[in-house]
Amino acid sequence: MSYIVLARKYRPKTFAELVGQSHVVTALSNALTTQRLHHAYLFTGTRGVGKTTVSRILAKSLNCEKGITCDPCGVCDACTQIDAGRFVDYTELDAASNRGVDEVQQLLEQAVYKPVQGRFKVFMIDEVHMLTNHAFNSMLKTLEEPPEYLKFVLATTDPQKVPVTVLSRCLQFNLRPMAPETILEHLQAVLGTEVVSAEVKALQLIARSARGSMRDALSLTDQAIAFGGGELKEENVRLMLGSVDVGYIFDLIKALSLGNGNAVFEICENIRKMGINAASTLEEMARVLQRMAVVQNVPNFDQIQQKEGQSVDPDADSVASLARELPPDETQLLYSMCLQGRAELGLAPDEYTGLAMILLRLLAFKSEVNSTQTVDSSSEAQKKTLKTEDKPASQVLARHELEVSGQSQKTSSNDTSHAVTPEQPLVDSLKQAEPLATHTADLDTSPSLSLPVRDMSVSGINQARTEQVEPSEMIQVSVHQQAQASQGLETPKPGVVRELVMTPEGDFWSEVVFKLVESQLVHGLNRELALQSQLLGRESDAWILRVESENLNVKNHKDQLQVALKAVGYDVSLQFEIGVVKDSPARRNIAKNTAREKELIERIQNDPLVIKMVQDFDAKIIMGSIKPIEPKNKLSQHG
């Protein structure tokens, strides 16, 4: 006897054997028991979820010799012939290959004849959405008012393409994709009957790869049995499916959480050499990240599963460990990037290049602060101060955010559009600072906009928003203050608003900076460095400047500023020191805007019409709403 594949051998014969579609089984069983039978049924769902199987069981239930029942005997002539596909009163039409009006007319011509052997004639049309419009129109009348002995069963994987005129004449049942756990249990029962040894992890791989289709799962199991020589082992099944070992995924996420580009690229190369599918790698990463997010938000998830009788995930400890190391918001970010990256793989030169670029994109949010904060200073004390190996960069960022928030709150009590508070997300403050970096004509800057953020990872942002300055950090700040005092520099004090002290060097530096801005030679943080610094002195080949923020005093920003100065005719080297800034282009612009706003408020308060409105209508002037109208070209106001 020839071999029968598992998908056919273990096709359910009764509703009791049907797996994963209890909502459909309950509805049809109650209808059969009470004999409240509709004349047309429409079963929808993806491939392999049981549409044809339900149709055949329904046909047996209607024509079983023991009567209309939800539990057909399976041994009478009607039941056995329907299972064998030889029952004369049960007709299946494949609309994918018989989609024309002629084929449908031939089927409907049989409707005028009563059943030959059974109790009902059952017309089953599979993939009904493939019928032509003329074919649909030809069956509408019969579908709406069929003879009492005729039942229509329609099945489709795409109900959106079925005309509403057909949908309105049918009872519609949606057969859902099956959960991997449901498929796993069924595969274990089937292989137990077949006496085939199988590892649980191997069956888990097959259950996930089936994507809700029991038929696909059984077909993959047949293939795995042949591939493994009669047994199912995880290694063989993973090789057959081209799936990535979850150990690689754990290593990848671990390396990404540490920002270790070398490790990420090495793992990516190993995946390429092993021929593992890039899309499945991102899919597995998304699956692990989803489980991590569940653990982060539902700490007792494992206990809940055990109470519900579900099996414990063998990788639960590894997932929980990664969930503790990776912040929840960064987990969500990586998950979203994995999902979007799968759609981009087809656009890449090859799938492994696409995978590498997606992983590098994840690393772009993990820039290292320690590798970029190299300060060009002759003072050994400043070099010690700027070292950040012994403390996280997020603490430096948190301290700077608190200092800036204190300055901005005291600078303007009415205008809080640029103020940064400890409660306000750092990302929002960066968005507020964005116009400064992108619109070269807008020079309304303030100390609160100088946010030289180097750690743009989600964890850095989250920690900067929530962490308090630790005592060890306060000690380091004190050492830095002593180092500055030994050089005769006034230490910048957080929250202290100093008055503008205009100097001749400040006049010259402001003109130079406005020229750089107008020429679009400086952008982003190097532009911010120029706006927030004070020129102390000039020599033939070197200029000395002062800046308050340590984080702005970064070598690559200074190098970019030197290149910009050279482009406008100043081939000089820049030397920066940390100290109190009393005259900078930004402070001058703030002072000018403040004076304009004050003048405007006085003019409005003294306007006769405004005074009369206040007196007559008991009106109030909302000071924060009074803003000067900016000129079309703001650079003109700076000369």
Identify the structural domains of the chain with CATH numbers, from first to last: 6-174 (3.40.50.300), 180-241 (1.10.8.60), 246-366 (1.20.272.10), 380-486 (no CATH)
pLDDT score at 604: 84
To the nearest 10 degrees (0 to 180), the angle between helices 393-411 and 458-466 is 60
pLDDT at 174: 92
- Give the separation between CA 59 and CA 90, rounded to whole angstroms: 7
The DSSP code sequence of 391-439 is: S-HHHHHHHHHHHHHHHHHHH-SS--TT---TTS-HHHHHHHHHHHHH-
In DSSP notation, 261-310 reads HHHHHHHHHHHHHTT--HHHHHHHHHHHHHHHHHHHH-TTHHHHHHHTTP
Give the integer Cα–Cα distance in Å for 79 and 64.
6
Specify the pLDDT at position 62: 93
The stretches in the chain having pLDDT less than 70 are 1, 301-314, 365-498, 624, 627-639
The two tokens of residue 59 are 């046909």
pLDDT in tens, 123-163: 999 999 999 999 999 999 999 899 999 999 999 999 999 99
C-alpha to C-alpha distance for 403 and 420, rounded to whole angstroms: 9
Can you spell out the DSSP letters for 548-595? S-GGG--HHHHHHHHHHHHHTT---EEEEEES-----HHHHHHHHHHH
- Could you tell me the two tokens for 70? 């939800």
pTM: 0.53
pLDDT at 406 (0 to 100):
44
Cβ distance 323 to 296 under 8 Å? Answer: yes
Distance CA 234, CA 245 (A): 10
Q: Report d(CA 241, CA 205) in Å as an integer.
A: 8
DSSP per-residue codes, 164-233: HHHHTTSEEEEPPPPPHHHHHHHHHHHHHHHT--B-HHHHHHHHHHTTT-HHHHHHHHHHHHHHTTSSB-
Instruction: Pick the closest to residue 13 from 68, 83, 105, 88 (CA basis).
Output: 83
Helix, strand or coil for residue 320? Answer: helix
Model pLDDT, residue 443: 41
pLDDT at 426: 35
pLDDT of amino acid 453: 37
Provide the pLDDT for residue 264.
85
